[in-house]
Amino acid sequence: MATTQTWAPQPGNGEPPADGTGGSRRRRWPWRRRIMLPLGALVAAAVVALTVLAGIYQPVRFGDAGGGAFPGLPAGTGLRAVNTFGGAMGETYVPPQRGVFTLTESIANTGPLTVTILAVSILSPHAQADGVAPWPLTPAGTVRWMRPAYTGPHQHIASTGGSFATSVSLAPGEFMYVGIPLRMSGRCYDPGSWTGGDVFYVKERFLFFTHWVPVLVQSPWILHAPADPGNGSPRPASQPVQEPAKDLGC
């Protein structure tokens, strides 16, 4: 006996779906879009926020220590702390001199992430770029760094150091000394005029961002204003400052 089979009408070309899931797959795509679009926007916003924070992350500060000789750099003549009465931090007095001397300062990373130190200078970025002769102090050599490391309880301190010819990492909470070799800008000095400074500059890198950061010292340095022959009443820079003021020429 012949068997007859009938097919129910099918949408489209009348062929049955291969696995019966085509319609449900099409219905799920709008939900994925609704989820992915806001998620993508959140990710993009997070990337922008992190980029902005990375661009302004500047954790380098003064390391709360300074002064004294720096190993391997010229100490100069007569540098000493003054105006320290009453427990005051005072200043670092730099007597007139024509040779190279070194200011020893320190920096520390006060942030939660590591930065890379690329350079240290007594000159601001603007002063470095404008080409004008520095005053009252001018760089006189390669700045060096030194990082003390305790070798154990009640033991001596061993130090590591080098120059900023290569970059140096500074981890959170780490501290290092920097030795900045300098020279007075003039061959003479004005015995009736004082000048000085209280800031140096550190070039730091975090991720792909680089900044020059001003570092304010606790003990500013002071000196008689350098001068050139014929400007006011200059003295030779090697003349002791205690002598009576008079025009000695240069």
pLDDT (tens, 9 = 90+) of the chain, 250 residues, equals 555 555 555 555 555 555 555 555 555 566 666 677 666 666 666 555 555 565 678 999 999 998 889 999 999 999 999 988 888 889 999 999 989 999 999 999 999 999 999 999 999 999 999 888 899 999 999 999 998 766 556 554 556 788 887 889 999 999 999 999 999 998 899 888 999 999 999 999 998 889 999 999 999 999 999 987 655 555 555 544 444 333 333 5
CA atoms of 24 and 26, how far apart (whole Å)? 5
In a domain, 9, yes or no: no
In a domain, 79, yes or no: yes
CA atoms of 4 and 24, how far apart (whole Å)? 32
137 shares its domain with 80: yes
Tell whether the torsion through CA atoms of 129, 135, 137 and 138 is positive or negative. positive
111 shares its domain with 215: yes
In a domain, 243, yes or no: no
78 shares its domain with 135: yes
In a domain, 134, yes or no: yes
211 shares its domain with 232: yes
Q: Count structural domains, the chain.
A: 2
CA atoms of 225 and 227, how far apart (whole Å)? 6
139 shares its domain with 109: yes
CA atoms of 12 and 214, how far apart (whole Å)? 74
Domain assignment of residue 47, given as a range: 23-56
* pTM for the model: 0.73
35 shares its domain with 94: no
* φ/ψ (deg, to 5) at 103: -95, 125
147 shares its domain with 198: yes
51 shares its domain with 70: no
- Secondary structure of residue 204 in the 3-state scheme: strand
Domain boundary among 12, 31, 56: 56
Strand ranges (E), the chain = 60-62, 80-82, 91-93, 101-109, 115-121, 137-139, 144-150, 157-163, 168-170, 175-184, 188-206, 209-227, 235-236
The pLDDT value recorded for residue 119 is 95
Contact of 67 with 92, CB cutoff 8 Å: yes
In a domain, 210, yes or no: yes
In a domain, 51, yes or no: yes
In a domain, 126, yes or no: yes
106 shares its domain with 151: yes
40 shares its domain with 64: no
142 shares its domain with 171: yes
104 shares its domain with 188: yes
Domain boundary among 37, 56, 75: 56
- DSSP string for residues in 126-177: HHHHH-PPP-SEEE-S--EEEEEEE-STT-PEEEEEEETTS-EEE-TT-EEE
CA atoms of 188 and 192, how far apart (whole Å)? 12
